[in-house]
Copies of this chain bind each other. A is one copy, B any other.
Amino acid sequence: MRMPLHERIRRDIEAAILSGELKPGARLPVEHELMRQYACARMTVSKALSALSSVGLIDRRKRAGSFVARPKVHSMVLDIPDLEQEILQRGQIYRYRLLRRQVRLPDHSTAGEAALAGRGQLLLIEGVHFADERPLSFETRLVSLSAVPEMEALSLEGASPGAWLLKHVPWTEAENRIAAVPADQTVARHLNVGTGAACLFVERRTWRGNDGITLVRQHFVGSAYDLIARFGSSKL
């Protein structure tokens, strides 16, 4: 057998929980009992239980014991891959067309802009992502030049600024807002859809540590783009 013992213990208990044999609220055997069952040291049992606790399958309470967790928030993993990669993986041709590029001071009447800029200026980038020469997404992006000074000298022709940022200044925190909105005149023109057409709107802010990196707003052609989110307790 090449599965570590702590892993085997973890799986045994996980299986019992998922099968319903151990129901939410049920008490697990105490560590010393598991040590006896598996004939192992306490650290080994502890490693297995800690792993289950960290994925939220059990709750551990001192003096009381370990219990199967009651179901809680259902958060799940949302993949928002690099648009360029995603289009290429679909076997389509990717192109980014730059519409506007401008360095400016933050608009202090917009709280988000001031926070993003810090003490520096902002780079405003507007463009359209094409898949097989059909517009897929209209994107307006603000980049903090105090966080990413290299970006000011960068030629943006042809390359997706989002892909460049991902590669050079990976974020550590992000927040997304996802909504369905009707296309206004600007969006409709750039995406080549009718005014009022349903668009998927994604607004994303990213940070690296405490520094804001970018704020991006993307309108996707509703009929051409979906987001997929998956969740599994098998994730670590």
Contact = CB atoms under 8 A, between A and B. Distances in A.
Interface of A: 18-19, 24, 43, 54, 70-71, 73-81, 166-167, 170-182, 196-201, 208-209, 220, 222-223, 225-234, 236
A139 to B, nearest CB: 16
B180 A229 contact: no
A19 to B, nearest CB: 7
Contacts of A18: 172, 208-209
A37 to B, nearest CB: 23
A197 to B, nearest CB: 7
A78 B78 contact: yes
B229 A200 contact: no
Contacts of A76: 77-78, 80, 174, 176
6 contacts: A172-B232, A179-B222, A179-B226, A180-B198, A182-B197, A196-B198
Contacts of A179: 200, 222, 225-227
A104 B173 CA distance: 46
A218 B118 CA distance: 40
B180 A181 contact: yes
